[in-house]
Every structure is written in C-alpha cells, then in structure tokens.
C-alpha cells in the first residue's frame, strides 16, 4: 500500500515534468518553423494582416495591402541575396571611392531662412548667414526656440569641427533676425525692435558691433578620410 502511494506520486510528478518540458518545446517551436523569414518582418506582416481583417474602408485596405507588399518585396530581395552573396573586399581602403563630387558655388552673407541641421522643435529659423572665415565654413541661423515662445537665439554650426551650438538671447524678446554683418560680427533684431549683436568667432552675444572679444580656439577639422587617400 505504502509502495503504491509512492509510485503514484512519482508518476504524477513525472507527468508534471513532461507537461512542463512540452511547454518549453511549444514555446520555442515558432523559432524553428519561421527560420527563413526574418522574424521582425513576420511580426510586422502578421500585425498588418490582423489590421487588414478588421478594417472595412477600401482605401485603408489598399494602403495596408501595399504596406504588406512592400515588406514582402523587401524580404524576398534579402533572402535572394543571401543565397548567393558576393565576396566582400578585405581591404576597406581599396574599396573606397577615389573622387569627390565637385560642390557648387555657395552663396554667402545673409540668406533667407533655410532649415539647418536641426528640427523646428529646436529653432524656428527666421534667416541665416554663412561665410568662410579662417578656413572654416560658418553658418548662423537666427530665430526662436521651438521650446519657448519668447526665447530667441542663434544656432552656430561650424562645418567639420565639433564646435558651435545654440546661444540663447541674453534678454529674451521673441524671435531674432539677422539684419547686417561686418566680418564675423552680426547685428540682429528682435520682434520688438531691440538690437542684439553676436560675434561668430567668439561664439557669444556682445554689446555692440565694435567691442573686441576673445575668439574661441577651434579644434582641428575632423579627418574624414580613414584611408589617407585625399
């Protein structure tokens, strides 16, 4: 009797263990069956498919179907390329292109507002100024912060170096606009008509167009050519 109870307990426990192990296998089963298709793409396709079933609007259905077509094309192309991959060059420098595109002539001075390398959430640009000074291309964008309706400022971007940045109007008075430039000194005006002055080389707002200030030393330009070809 005692032995029978023991055996029954053992059998029950073994049964539980088998169920748990089966759970693990089932859990991982999809990883085996879907090896060919990228799981990320499959997830996106599955989700789109579910949405497609739940939407009655024809335009919406067409849109979702096209999104699925694009994903399928993308995946077909990837899988096809994997079947017969070309040999990669071992010398990354030999693979580098030899020539650079000739650049067009840049306008200089005060220009209409173009978007700088930043979002309108950073600065909504009124206008800009650009010149090459001491061998560096310098760009100043004037406008208003995208974060604060009253905070005017300028964004200074100096090409090829890690320098510059956003400079807030020391006496915030709405958007700033560049109205004149002498050398590296800019005259700006706020929406209320007040004047501000910014020295590009000193990277700071100053009191007028003439007071001398110490310029900021710029770091060496970033070395783009990892192979020293140019």
Partner 1 sequence: MNKIYRVLLSIFIITCLVGVLFSNATVVSSNDELSYKSYLPLILKNPPPQPPTTYGVSRYMNTVDPVKSYTYGCLAGTADLQLPGKQDKIIILAYGQPWGQNGQYGVWYYSGTFASTAVIAESAKQFAYGYWVCTGSDTESTIELVIGTSNFARYENGVCTSGSWFCTTAIAYEHGKYWALMVKEVSDWVVKNGYSSQVSIAGGNDIEFLWNTPAITKAWVQGYDAFDENKYKLYNFGSCDACPYVGSTWHPPANNWTMSDAYYVAWGAPPVWPIPEIYLTTGKNAKEWAYLSYWGTINNRSKIQFPGTLTQWQACLQRGGCVVYDTNGNILYGSNNTPEQGWQQLLNEINRWPATAQSTIRWMTDIRWSP
Does 136 contact partner 1 by CB under 8 A? no
Class of residue 123 by CB neighbours under 10 A (exposed 0-12, middle 13-18, buried 19+)? buried
**From CA 129, how far away is CA 93, in angstroms rounded?**
37
Q: Which of residues 209-228 bind partner 1 (CB under 8 A)?
A: 221-222, 224-226
Candidates 142, 144, 164, 199; binder of partner 1 (CB under 8 A) is 164
Does 147 contact partner 1 by CB under 8 A? yes
134 Rama class: left (phi>0) / alpha (psi -120 to 50) / beta:
left
Please state, as a whole number, how many other Cβ atoms lie within 10 Å of the Cβ of residue 141.
28
Q: Which of residues 22-51 bind partner 1 (CB under 8 A)?
A: 23-24, 26-28, 30, 34, 39-40, 43-44, 46-48, 50-51
Candidates 32, 58, 85, 228; binder of partner 1 (CB under 8 A) is 85
Q: Give the per-residue contact string, 172-191, with partner 1 (x = CB under 8 A; - = no).
A: --------------------
Does 119 contact partner 1 by CB under 8 A? yes
Among residues 208 and 220, whose Cβ is nearest to partner 1? Answer: 220
User: What is the chain's Cα-based Rg?
Assistant: 32
130, 139 contact by CB (below 8 A): yes
């Amino acid at each position: 009797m005692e032995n029978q109870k023991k055996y029954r307990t053992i059998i029950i426990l073994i049964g539980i263990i088998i169920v748990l192990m089966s759970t693990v296998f089932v859990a991982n089963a999809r990883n085996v069956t879907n090896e060919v298709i990228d799981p990320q793409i499959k997830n996106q396709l599955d989700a789109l498919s579910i949405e497609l079933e739940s939407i009655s609007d024809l335009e919406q259905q067409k849109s979702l179907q096209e999104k699925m077509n694009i994903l399928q094309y993308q995946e077909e192309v990837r899988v096809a390329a994997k079947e017969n991959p070309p040999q990669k060059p071992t010398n990354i420098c030999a693979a580098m292109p030899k020539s650079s595109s000739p650049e067009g002539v840049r306008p200089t001075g005060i220009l209409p507002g173009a978007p700088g390398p930043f979002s309108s959430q950073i600065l909504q640009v009124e206008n800009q100024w650009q010149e090459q000074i001491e061998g560096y291309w310098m760009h100043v964008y004037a406008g208003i912060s995208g974060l604060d309706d009253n905070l005017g400022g300028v964004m200074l971007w100096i090409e090829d170096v890690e320098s510059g940045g956003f400079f807030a109007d020391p006496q915030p008075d709405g958007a700033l606009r560049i109205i004149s430039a002498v050398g590296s000194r800019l005259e700006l005006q706020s929406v209320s008509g007040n004047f501000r002055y910014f020295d590009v080389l000193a990277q700071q707002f100053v009191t007028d167009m003439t007071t001398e200030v110490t310029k900021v030393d710029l770091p060496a330009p970033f070395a783009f050519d990892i192979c020293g070809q140019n």
